[in-house]
Structure 1
Amino acid sequence: MIIFDTDKFYTLIRQIEKLKESIEDQVEKRFQEFKNIGEKGDKLDLYSELCFCILTANWKAKGGIKAQQVISKSGFATFSEEELIKKLKEIGHRFPNTRAKYIIQNRWIIKDLKSLLKQDVYQTRKFLVKNVKGIGWKEASHFLRNVGFENIAIIDKHILRIMKSYNLIEDLPKSGWNEKKYISMENILKELSKISHISLGKLDLYLWYIETGSIDK
């Protein structure tokens, strides 16, 4: 059992419970959209979602959504590097050259995504982190949540700030993620998930709303 500041922990639980009264329908609708991508989407839908997670790293979710609209799922699979760079510059991406290169280099995985999602989610996450350019623990978790998996946490700067504010962690991590560090943070959120009776994947949407006032993806 992980021990926190009990008062602050339950203050956060109460805040989530209050939010649930007002945004639960929106959360459930958004999560059903995630599940539909994972269950009914084709391999290009899945690759578009993987590219979204690559593009939002050190950027913003709304920008990633715009990129999906501008480039399209077929564009992620077929555009040249120069075309991708041009599109990413048009929408103001911070790292158009690097991200375009990652998208090109990762196309080998398109054919494997459907089968990967049928395997153990934790092993799939490890595989993505190890083998896909631009994908770390947060990005792999983000992708898997966005295709309907509920039992993993997306630990980004917004979530970490909430964890720090409510004394779930002492300090914000100052260096890159490794498996041990990521799992330790995820285990803290599992306690919050268990007590709030909200799955980790959906809990992220509530915490994101607390930090940003919106439900994105």
Structure 2
Amino acid sequence: MAEVESLLLMYASKKEDIAKRLQEFELKKYAPDEEIFAELVFCILTPQTRASQANKALSELQNGLLFKGSEKEIAEVLAKNGIRFHNRKAKYIIKARELFSRGNKIKIKSMLNTDDPKGLRAWLASNVLGLGYKEASHFLRNIGYGKDLAILDRHILSELLKLKIISKMPKSLSKSKYLEIEQKLTAFAAKLKLSLAELDALLWSEHGSLPIDALR
């Protein structure tokens, strides 16, 4: 299959960069609670919003509002930075802050059962407003626990369609549909002898012709 051969050649040329970026994500698991929570907020912000805009908004929130700001103050920052559904996402951030706070401190790490990433993903998708399976997978990848999880955004799905791993673009992704596609992608990754995280990074880079170090 020409597409697969092309993909393997592309991987060979980017292997070191992919390994380096995934190692950087891996090291995040040792970051303090505040950093882990900030990654969660980033993943709440990204749906239907560019990563660069989400990153800019998050950086501004980290100047004092992320842990102390009101819903209104947070919404204003999100709106200013072009975050879609800024009012809704501000509410999600406040709810997440309440969920992961103990006293006046964020204690997110002690609440995450990282021994079971797939179970943790399901828990996050059920308990954190604004996180579906895609966003929860994204968050876990970004903090070093997503090696075997698929991040099925529209860019990745477009690449899967080209590779004939899926026959059509899904109109929506229910939990069952997400897991069905993830299973197909897992089998494809195994044939290539890659982890899902490695394959995701490769497909992401291939879709946008972007350098691996821009993966966020």
How far does the alpha carbon of each residue in 1:79-102 deviate from its partner, in whole angstroms, 9 at most, with x for none? 221221121122111221111111
Residue 57 of structure 1 aligns to a residue whose secondary structure is coil
Q: Which runs of 5+ in 1 are unaligned?
A: 1-6
RCO higher in structure (CA 8 A, sep ≥6): 1
Equivalent residue in structure 2 for 1:94, among 62, 75, 84 = 84
Tell me, yes or no, if structure 1 residue 26 matches structure 2 residue 17. Answer: yes
How far apart, CA to CA, are the structure 1 residues paired with 2:64 and 2:32? 11
Aligned to 1:3: none
Residue 107 of structure 2 aligns to a residue whose secondary structure is helix
> Are the structure 2 counterparts of residues 193 and 74 from structure 1 closer, same or farther at C-alpha, using a change threshold of 3 Å?
farther
Equivalent residue in structure 2 for 1:52, among 11, 24, 42 = 42
Aligned to 2:6: 15
Equivalent residue in structure 2 for 1:147, among 133, 143, 147 = 143
Query: Are 1:45 and 1:73, in contact at CA under 8 Å, matched by a contact in 2?
Result: no
1:118-137 alignment runs, 5 A limit: 118-137=114-133
Q: Percent identity?
A: 34
The Cα of 1:73 is off from its aligned counterpart by 7.9
Tell me, yes or no, if structure 1 residue 162 matches structure 2 residue 162. Answer: no
> Are the structure 2 counterparts of residues 117 and 35 from structure 1 closer, same or farther at C-alpha, using a change threshold of 3 Å?
farther
Query: Are 1:44 and 1:74, in contact at CA under 8 Å, matched by a contact in 2?
Result: no
The Cα of 1:125 is off from its aligned counterpart by 0.6
How far does the alpha carbon of each residue in 1:175-202 deviate from its partner, in whole angstroms, 9 at most, with x for none? 3x33211111001111221122221012
How far apart, CA to CA, are the structure 2 residues paired with 1:15 and 1:26? 18
Give the counterpart letter for 2:158 in structure 1. Answer: R
Aligned to 1:193: 189
How far apart, CA to CA, are the structure 2 residues paired with 1:68 and 1:193? 33
1:56-71 alignment runs, 5 A limit: 56-71=46-61
Q: Which runs of 5+ in 2 are unaligned?
A: 101-105
Equivalent residue in structure 2 for 1:212, among 204, 208, 215 = 208
Query: Are 1:47 and 1:73, in contact at CA under 8 Å, matched by a contact in 2?
Result: no
Aligned to 2:180: 184
The TM-score with structure 2 as length reference comes to 0.88
* Root-mean-square deviation (Å): 1.7
Moved over 6 A (4+): none
Give the stretch that moved more between structures: 71-80 or 83-92.
71-80
Give the counterpart letter for 1:97 in structure 2. Answer: N
Structure with more of its chain in helix, by fraction: 1
The Cα of 1:66 is off from its aligned counterpart by 2.1
The Cα of 1:117 is off from its aligned counterpart by 4.3
Aligned to 2:103: none
Give the counterpart letter for 1:27 in structure 2. Answer: I
Query: Are 2:4 and 2:163, in contact at CA under 8 Å, matched by a contact in 1?
Result: no
